[in-house]
Amino acid sequence: MEQCAPRRNWWQEESVLRRVVGDLAAAELALARPGRALPALPWSVDIDLAADLGADSLDLMAAATALGDLLQFGQAGMQDALLGRPRLADWVVAARASLAGFDAQLVFRTSGSSGMPKRCTHSLAGLWREVDELAQVLPGRRRVLSAVPAHHIYGFLFTVLLPQACAGDETLPVLDLRGMSPAALAGQVQPGDLVVAHPDWWRQVAALGLAFPADVVGVSSTAPCPDEVARALADGGLRLVQVYGSSETAGVGWREGAGEPYRLFSYWRAGAEGGVERPGDGGTTERLALPDRLDWSDDLHFLPAGRIDEAVQVGGTNVFPAYVREVLAMHPAVLACQVRLMRVDEGSRLKAFVVPHPGAGEAADLRPVLDAWVAARLTPPERPAAFSFGPSLPRGPGGKLADWIIDAWE
């Protein structure tokens, strides 16, 4: 497939690089101290991470390490470029200098089943290969409206590279929606817009029953978008494109109709043991595992058939109930616990069932204690939004752990 436009250095435009660096810094500071209140994004380039946000030396080291890993500072010999520099403006300058020396690959991070970050290396050429195909699927865009962070692979592809793919010598403007409620979309969206979001965000938009202007395209990824949400958006006039992929693979396939199989991008094919494969360097074949089991209808079309690593989606973020359960179980008042994703009629957050230790107190007293415990140790998407209590964990007739209805245990 021919490229849509001559390749440019994606990082040369100030606003683009500032968005990537700022989003990463915000995510790392939030991860370091889950209870910390941070200003809404995007941040001013003049912000001081220490003086303005209270980041200490350990916070700064973790964030600087993550940025250096994403942009591969070490390949440009700039491992220590951020030492003693807490201003976001300095980080943007250092990022540009490093990318001028080496920009051939990026390392995105995702969460593993233990909650520890996993490094996923991608060549820039491979990312552009996907963007070339996306540009054919999404022609004629004039603006990008984004509800996702730019330093994750989904946001990087759709809000950093794609705006440069078919805009001639210009870059499509990107409007950040994260400081707005989904209801504000009605006053922002225009014909020719591409709206980039995740399923939970689209669920809230669908509940509003918005009528979209002509020629507006939405993109959803990071998890399957529920069919009823996709149909509601289509009824409102939105063309919704769903992209299947992961941090390990980037995009693998796409679909438009609710419930339809995904179509492989042209450079992928089904691989052995449930994975996928694509041409690598020097005539080799690159084989990658997937986080989901796939049901193939033919060589080009598939449907996801359940997570292998048992992650669930909360607010567009992969979270692992088993890890949350481990954190909750460390509290001395918890004898046993179970953590699950809420039922559809209950909400879209995690819920926890707790068996208290004898003498731990009444449920009404224990609930705020456990709220504070998880708030200090888990990110907002990981925190259970509802606690239920009982003398034993819910089990089915066969003795296996079972789901529970929140209201029945309140």
Q: Report yes or no on 391 lying in a domain.
A: yes
User: Same domain, yes or no, for 264 and 141?
Assistant: yes
Angle at 116 between CA 328 and CA 41, to 5 degrees: 90
CB burial of 333-356 (b: ≥16 within 10 Å; e: otherwise) equals: ebeebbbbbbeeeeebbbbbbbeb
Predicted confidence at residue 310, as pLDDT, reads 80
Cβ atoms of residues 334 and 328 within 8 Å: yes
Phi, psi of 27 (to 5 degrees): -65, -40
pLDDT given at position 289: 87
**Per-residue tokens: 27:** 């995510």
What is the model's pLDDT at position 179? 85
DSSP 320-388: -HHHHHHHHHTSTTEEEEEEEEPPTTT-SSEEEEEEEPTTS--HHHHHHHHHHHHHTTS-GGGS-SEEE
Q: CA 53 to CA 9: how far, in whole Å? A: 31
Could you say which of 78, 103, 128 is where a domain stops? 103
The reported pLDDT for the residue numbered 3 is 47
| Chain centre distance of CA 339 | 21
Residues 172 and 265 in one domain: yes
Residues 380, 200: Cα–Cα separation, whole Å? 14
Do 57 and 84 reside in the same domain of the chain? yes
Residue range 42-64, pLDDT digits in tens: 899 999 999 999 999 999 999 99
H-helix segments, 71-226: 88-101, 124-137, 153-156, 162-165, 185-188, 199-208
Q: With H, G, I as helix, E, B as strand and everything else as coil, classify residue 57.
A: helix
Would 197 be classed as within a structural domain?
A: yes
Q: Which of 3, 61, 4 is nearest to 28 (CA)?
A: 61
Low-confidence ranges of the chain (pLDDT < 50): 1-6, 112-114
Buried b (16+ CB within 10 A) or exposed e, 13-34: beebbbbbbbbbbbbbbebbee
Number of folded domains that form the chain: 3
Cα distance between residue 116 and residue 122, in whole Å: 19
Sign of CA dihedral 390, 392, 397, 403: positive
Show which of 55, 79, 103 is a domain's final residue. 103
The answer to whether residue 21 sits within a structural domain is: yes
Same structural domain for residues 68 and 193?
no
Same domain, 68 and 136: no
Domain identity same for 188 and 229: yes
**Any domain includes 112:** no
Residue 47 sits in the same domain as residue 180: no
295 and 341 part of one domain: no
Phi, psi of 337 (to 5 degrees): -160, 160
Residue 135: strand, helix, or coil: helix
CA-wise closest residue to 233 among 260, 255, 203: 203
Instruction: Report the 10 Å Cβ neighbour count for 43.
Output: 20
- Same domain, residue pair 151 and 287: yes
CATH number, residue 349: 3.30.300.30
Residues 64-121: pLDDT tens digits? 999 999 999 999 999 888 988 999 999 999 999 999 999 999 999 875 434 566 899 9
Strand partners, 317: 314
Domain presence at residue 109: no
Does 171 lie in the same domain as 30?
A: no
Which pLDDT score, from 0 to 100, does residue 408 have? Answer: 55
Same domain, 18 and 165: no
Q: Is residue 111 part of a domain?
A: no
- Residue 360 belongs to what domain range? 320-409
**In this predicted structure, what is the pLDDT of residue 114?**
42
**Whole-prediction pTM:** 0.81
pLDDT of residue 388: 94
**Domain termination site, one of 103, 138, 154:** 103
Residue 88 lies in a domain: yes
131 in the same domain as 270: yes
How far apart are the C-alpha atoms of 168 and 382, rounded to whole Å?
42
Candidates 30, 29, 23; CA nearest to 381 is 30
The one-letter code for the residue type at 198 is: H
Spatial CA neighbour of 275 closest among 255, 256, 302: 302
181 in a structural domain? yes
Q: What is the pLDDT of residue 171?
A: 87
Token pair 């239920």: residue = 388
| Number of residues in the chain | 410
